[in-house]
Each structure stands twice: as structure tokens, then as C-alpha cells.
Amino acid sequence: MLDFRHKNIRYLFIAIVTSLVAFMLMASGYALWLLQKQKIESGRDLVSIQARVFEDYLTQSFNNIDVALRNVPLIWESGIPRGNAFALALHNVPYLRSLALLNEQGVVVSSSNPADIGQKIDTGSFLPRVTAADEILRIASPWRGRYLHEGRPTAPDQPAEPSALVFLPVLKTVSSNNRVFTLLASVNTDYFVNHFSQLIESEAGQIEVFRLDRTLLFSTDVHKQPGIRLNLLPGEQDNAAQPAVFEHMLDGRAVLTAHQASRNFPFALHIHLDRDVLLAHWQKQMQILLAVISLSICAVIGLSIFIYKRLLHSARIQAATDEQLSLSAQVFKSSAEAIFIATAAQRIYSTNRTFSEITGYSASEVIGQSPAMLYAYSGERDSDPKPVWADIRPNRPWIGEVSHRRKNGEIYPAYLTVSCIQDGAGTITHYIGVFSDATERKISERFRYLSEHDFLTSLPNRRLLEEHVDQSIARIERHGGSCGILFLDLDHFKQVNDTLGHHIGDLLLKEVAVRMQHCVRATDTLCRQGGDEFLLLIDQIDSPVDAANVAQKLVNAVSSPYLIEGHALEITTSIGIALCPKDGFDVATLTHRADIAMYQAKQRGRNHFEFYHPAMEHWATETESSDSYSS
């Protein structure tokens, strides 16, 4: 025991308390600086990931355009007229408005829009400037208007108005059978602007897509003018080979910007993330931490005064203090995750600093409260996951994902583990809860979901279906068996769009998708390929009869009447079936042959299904030559 009757001992005690307060202030300042640094680094990672995701989406979209233009001459050579060939290409690429054929003088000689014929296009402004056949896709500056005949090209000194309707001409010269074709496609930039706007909050971030000569193609910023020439940003290396993230001032705001160039085409993009929005949560954490620090310093000073006056108290009080210090050392031993200790009566006894950082509650606000105050209920209370305290045993903790609510009302997902501590007699004395914020993981899972599912029906998209087909084929190679690919096309669906509008058509597609899902197993994969076309993978079937049974269920389900916003509708479907390994051993072959069988089903009256047979290849060729097929 210290003898406070000596002046030097009192001075020593005061010096120790002063040093402790100074250390707390320095440690708190360092913690705030570290949190800010971590938040900015997290923002750099986020904007870099978004740039890669959006660049990949754009590159894949332009790859689809490139493939569509490359296939047009092949479709002509099969005997299909140009107009129908253009319509077929546009059907498969929804973000194209029109397709046109140019002669050597750059004059439109054929187009999906007859009004465009006769238009002369200056192809010298397209990038990159190459002339060889089978060239890379070339991109022009944005054009005002909707179609070529009514449009006008923009220029850096004459950009389009921010609210103006624009499109993007892209050019490709391809050769087929020693003939050279120059094809021009009009890309609907609003398609990509709307898509990106749904994925990034306008007040927090912006996207700019520009040619490598820095001509702005389109942007989610409603104030940017398509066609202007963008200046090189501070810290940006023009046409850098690697993606870069840098911080600079933009329109009077501090932003984090990611620069990402397309790996295949002459364009790049910027993702701008507002630094103030990024640090908003940090500022809240700073306020909470400063409040906790102030309370802690006051507590330290008050406690010091108390200890200064009552240091000679009884051994019982000292023993209780030692027990509290020992228990606190166990609670705060690990600070990477939020921790709380509750009594056997399920009342919070203590928390660590990470608990306050994640939840927003200081220790004084939660001590004595039930852990249930952290839960966020979305409806009936029993439907939300939460620990069953009575079932928790030393070797049987409760582990699960729960919904928590911060002090400011924000709901976030958390991974929670609750275990218990027993005394020597086996009686539970305390519960220990450990949890972490799973928000970033959920965001990552959401991005993956969006990249693998159709935006209208929420069905898997073609990319995810192909992965599942590849997995099924791999199992067949190792263990044998069979699987089936069903190609479904709605009969006369175009009439619904033409007579009732695309809104009713979209609602009908969603209802058809729901009915189809009820007809398949959880192990099967139903995909919307685009428009009114669907693909279905039936995994691990014993015989073709299994595929036929599923196809008949689908035909019956789809053909039942619909009531869409007061409209009584009837629709049917034609289905083509290809089996693996009988009809093919890769996704492309199986899909193509199921498509041929579907055409045969339509030819034979629609509203039923057909299995693929090699003889259909000759029929499909004759059908394409005579141009007799109509959906």
C-alpha cells in the first residue's frame, strides 16, 4: 500500500494519472487517424472493384455487339434477307437500336431502319483508325437523336445537351467468302446509363465512359455533356496499361477516382466516389469515440480522486477490484471483433471498444440491458434468427447470422457466436457474445448475384447456366449419366408487346418465369436467355422420358390463362430438347441443337415439345433458306 502521507508519493500518483490521461489522448488520436486511413483504403478497394466490374460488363456488352456484327454476313449467306438478318441480330442484342450496311463511300445502302438508307457516314472519325477486314470494333463520338437519319454527330466544341437523346455509332469491317462488309450499329447509351445508375448511388458516386482520345461517350452525371473532351485528371496517367486509383478535387469536392481501360476496345471509364460520403461513417465513429474518451478521462480522473482518498479501504474492496480487472482483461484480450459479456440473467455486464464502434452504443448505455436490444426485427419476432439461451451449453454454443440495429437506426448483418461460462459446480455464471459486421461481405455477394441473374425475372442468366452445364458435363464424364437442355420460346409473344406494350410484356414474362420455376427441381437451372427465350438444364436424368415429363409440365403450366393488370392473356410455348451426351458434349452444341428442335416444334403447330434428331439439321437449313419461320 502506498502511504499518501508523504508529499512525494502524492506527486508521483498525480504524475502517473496525468501520464495516463495524456496516453489515452494520444492513443485515441492515433485510433481516429487509423480508422480514417482504413476507411479511405476501403473506399479505394471499393472503387477499384466497381471499376473492374463495370469495365467487364461494358467489354462483354461490346463483345456481344462485335459477335452480332460478325455473324450478320454469315446469316446473309444462309439465305436470310438482309432485313430479317438485321432484325435477328437486334433481337439478340437489346442495347442496339439499328444496324446498317455501308458501301465503300460510307453511304448506308441497307438498314434495319429504312429511313437511314442514303445517309453518308464519315468513318474517318471512328477509333481506332484501321481499315483491315475482321478489324476491332471502332467507336465514333456520340450522335444526337435516336436514329442515323435524324441524328447529328457531336464534337468537343459542339457537345450534346445533358438531357438530349443520344446514341453511339460503332463500326466493324468483316470479310466472308472473299467479300468485305462494313456494318454500322447504333448503340443505345441510355441502356448502360440506367443499368449503372441502379448499381451506384448518384450522391455517392459517378461513372464516366470515354474513348481513348478522352471524348465522353456517356455518364451517370446528369450535368455532363456527351461528346465533350475530358481533361486529364491530377494523378492520372493517360491510357495507362494498369488500372489506377487516385484522389483529387472534382467540382469542388474531394473524390476517389478509379481509371480502368477496356481490355479489348478503345474506351476507358472513371468511377468517382465522394470522399465526404465515404468518411461520413468515420465521422460518426469519431464523435462516438470522442464522447467515450471524454467519459473515460472523466472516469479516470474521478476514479483517481476516489482512489487517492480511499486507497486504504478494506481488503474486500481491493479483492473485488482485482476480480473486475481480471475479468476485464479477458473481455478485451481480443479487440478484432465486438464482444459483450452477459450475466446468467442475460443482462449485459461489459463490452469492448469494437462493440461501441460497430453498434454505436457506449458501454454505459448497454450495461444492464438485454442483448435483445441489438436485434432488428423485420416482421413477426419469431421469424428472425436469435440465440436460444436455454440451449447454450459449454460445448454447444449458438452460432448464426442475425440482423442487428445500430444506435442510429441502421440495420446491418452480423455473424454472432454466443457461448457460456460455468463455475466449478456446473452453474452458468456468464454468457460471452462475439460478433462482427458482415456488411461488406453481403455487398460482395450482392454484386455476384447481379452479375449472374437476369434483372427482370431474377432467374440465372446465360453465364450462370453455362457454369452449371459445364459442372453437369464434368460429372457425366466422371460418373456417367445424362442431362438435358430445354430451349423454350413463347409463341406469338411479340403480339403482346405490340398490342399491349412492353410493360405488360415484362409482367407476363415474370409470371411465366414463376410458373416455370414451379415445374422444375431445385437441382435444375432455369435461365432467361433474353427476350422471350428461356433455357433449362435438367440435371441427372435417367432417361429421355424424364425430360419429356418436365417439358409437358412446362407446356401445361405456361398455356394456362393469365390475368395481367386486368388483361386476360393466353400464351403458349414451344420447346426443343437436346440430351447430353447423346446430342452433344458442350454448352454451345447442346443449346444450338435444342434451338433447332424448338424450331421444329413451332413448325409442327407450337404448344408442344420436340427432341432433337440429326435429320432436323437439314430441315433447319431449308427453313432458314426459305425464310418461313415466324415466332
DSSP string, 336-354: SSEEEEEETTS-EEEE-HH
**Contact between residue 172 and residue 70 where contact means Cβ atoms under 8 Å apart:** yes
Q: What is the mean pLDDT of residues 282-305?
A: 81
Write the DSSP symbol of residue 460.
Answer: B
Instruction: Look at residues 286, 245, 202 and name the one whose alpha carbon lies nearest to residue 46.
Output: 245
Instruction: Check residue 529 and give its pLDDT.
Output: 85
Q: What is the mean pLDDT of residues 374-380?
A: 67
- With respect to CATH, is domain 335-439 assigned 3.30.450.20? yes
- Comparing 322-326, 409-413, 458-462, 573-577, which segment has the lowest mean pLDDT? 322-326
Confidence of residue 311 (pLDDT cuts 50, 70, 90): low
Could you report the per-residue pLDDT of 563-584, keeping only the tens digit for each? Answer: 998 889 999 999 999 999 888 8
SS3 content of the chain, % helix, strand, coil (to 5): 45, 25, 30
Q: What is the mean pLDDT of residues 531-557?
A: 91
91 vs 629: which has the higher pLDDT: 91
Q: What is the mean pLDDT of residues 323-350?
A: 74
Inter-CA distances, 623 with 217, 589, 595, 600, Å? 41, 19, 13, 10
Query: Please, is 7 exposed, middle or buried when counting C-beta atoms within 10 Å of its C-beta (0-12, 13-18, 19+)?
Result: exposed
42-278 and 453-626, same CATH topology: no
d(CA 437, CA 284): 16
pLDDT of 624 higher than 70: no
Confidence of residue 409 (pLDDT cuts 50, 70, 90): confident
Could you report the per-residue pLDDT of 106-160, keeping only the tens digit for each? Answer: 899 999 899 999 999 988 888 887 655 557 889 999 999 988 988 899 999 999 9
Q: Residue 438 has which C-alpha cell?
A: 458482415
pLDDT of 292 higher than 90: no
The amino acid that residue 113 corresponds to is: N
336 vs 177: which has the higher pLDDT: 177
Instruction: Look at residues 515, 507, 513, 517 and name the one whose alpha carbon lies nearest to residue 564.
Output: 507
Instruction: Check residue 56 and give its pLDDT.
Output: 92
Q: Is the pTM of this model over 0.85?
A: no
pLDDT above 90 as % of the chain: 24
Virtual torsion, Cα 120, 126, 130, 136, nearest 10 deg: -110
The amino acid that residue 601 corresponds to is: A
> What's the Rg (C-alpha) of the chain?
33
Highest mean pLDDT among 181-195, 344-358, 452-466: 181-195
Strand residue runs (E) in 406-482: 411-422, 428-437
- Comparing 24-28, 44-48, 129-133, 556-560, which segment has the lowest mean pLDDT? 129-133
Instruction: Check residue 628 and give its pLDDT.
Output: 43
Peptide bond into 153 cis (omega under 30): no
81 vs 603: which has the higher pLDDT: 603
pLDDT of 466 higher than 60: yes
Q: What is the mean pLDDT of residues 431-459?
A: 79
pLDDT of 621 higher than 70: no
d(CA 87, CA 75): 11
- With respect to CATH, is domain 453-626 assigned 3.30.70.270? yes
Q: State the first-to-last Cα distance of the chain, in angstroms, to the nearest integer.
A: 95
Q: What is the mean pLDDT of residues 344-354?
A: 87
Question: CB neighbours of 423 closer than 8 A, spacing ≥ 6?
Answer: 429
391 vs 267: which has the higher pLDDT: 267
334 vs 259: which has the higher pLDDT: 259
**Contact between residue 117 and residue 111 where contact means Cβ atoms under 8 Å apart:** yes
Could you report the per-residue pLDDT of 70-80, keeping only the tens digit for each? Answer: 888 888 877 78
pLDDT of 228 higher than 90: yes
Average pLDDT, the chain: 83
Instruction: Check residue 611 and give its pLDDT.
Output: 94
pLDDT of 488 higher than 60: yes
22 vs 631: which has the higher pLDDT: 22
Instruction: Check residue 138 and give its pLDDT.
Output: 92
Three-state SS for 227? coil
Could you report the per-residue pLDDT of 201-217, keeping only the tens digit for each? Answer: 545 688 999 998 999 99
Instruction: Look at residues 426, 619, 631 and name the one whose alpha carbon lies nearest to residue 532.
Output: 631
Q: What is the mean pLDDT of residues 77-96?
A: 83
What is the domain partition of the chain in residue ranges? 42-278, 335-439, 453-626
CA angle (543, 547, 550) in 5-degree steps: 140
d(CA 454, CA 195): 12
pLDDT of 282 higher than 90: no
- What dotted CATH number matches 42-278? 3.30.450.20
- Comparing 238-242, 307-311, 510-514, which segment has the lowest mean pLDDT? 238-242
Instruction: Look at residues 507, 351, 513 and name the one whose alpha carbon lies nearest to residue 432.
Output: 351
